[in-house]
Amino acid sequence: MSAAIRLVAKHVEKPWGRRDLGPFFGAVGPAHEPVGEVWFALPPGADPREPELLVKYLFTRQRLSIQVHPDDAAAQASGHPRGKDEAWVVVAADPDAVIGLGPRARLDRDQLRAAALDGSVETLIDWRPVRSGDVLYSPAGTIHAIGAGLVVIEVQQNFDLTYRLYDYGSTRALQLDDAVAVADIEVYRAAFDRHPAAPGREILVSGPKFILERWLRHGPHRLRASASHPVWVIPLDGSATLDGVPLQPGEVWLADASGEFDLAVGSTLLLAYAGATLLVDGE
């Protein structure tokens, strides 16, 4: 029996989404709204405990709102279970694609509120050009916005609590008071903390809520996962197996028991997990 569960893909319609979702997810028919997100959830009948992390693919035809997520303390003070740290791995990007992270200069909260109301907040955000392979980390509290023309894998705490600060004049509701209250008004300085963990293993993000790795090392190696320390496995390209079961790009698996990976030459996996550093036999 495999040590991992293949998660079920769920299409989420969004006004800023796309109809062409590429080779892994196909096309959206005219009877449906554009799809902006593909979420990966446990299949029916799996462990009813809520996973700590959530993995999504995002497909942006238009830019997303300028927004902020609360941290755990702020979320729990409002009656929610947790906040939302998140990280993005850029899979594909148009030549002019950007992601905004934090203000270009420090703001006070009155300035932030006024800029959100008159629309000038759009000019105050630090818009960063991005391309395929880039990795960005957005801790809770970071003012951020994902631009148009992107396919992004998002790894996040498993709760979608979003406070919209500005939405380019759309009719969607804003949560201005909440957003201003929890926003980090300093210039974004969070390190992505990329560093090697072992040969063929790179730590892309090491935050307080989860760690994200990229694996390039080919050959068999044993991953030590468990129900209390599960690992989300995201094949990016090439081919890999887990206990003989093929893992394909466009899938996401949840490993909740130890198992042996065999990663082919030229293949890439992402692995995400909460808590302690990942243990791999033989290192």
Looking at the annotation, which residues are catalytic?
164
C-alpha distances in angstroms, 209 versus 13, 132, 180, 205, 277?
Answer: 27, 25, 23, 10, 12
**Bridge partners, 53 (sequence order):** 157
Contact between residue 233 and residue 255 where contact means Cβ atoms under 8 Å apart: yes
Q: Residue 150: name the closest of 163, 137, 134, 138 by CA.
A: 134
Rounded Cα–Cα distance for residues 137 and 189 (Å): 10
Rounded Cα–Cα distance for residues 91 and 263 (Å): 20
Contact between residue 270 and residue 236 where contact means Cβ atoms under 8 Å apart: yes
Rounded Cα–Cα distance for residues 20 and 23 (Å): 9
Kindly calculate the radius of gyration of the chain based on its CA atoms and give it in whole angstroms: 19
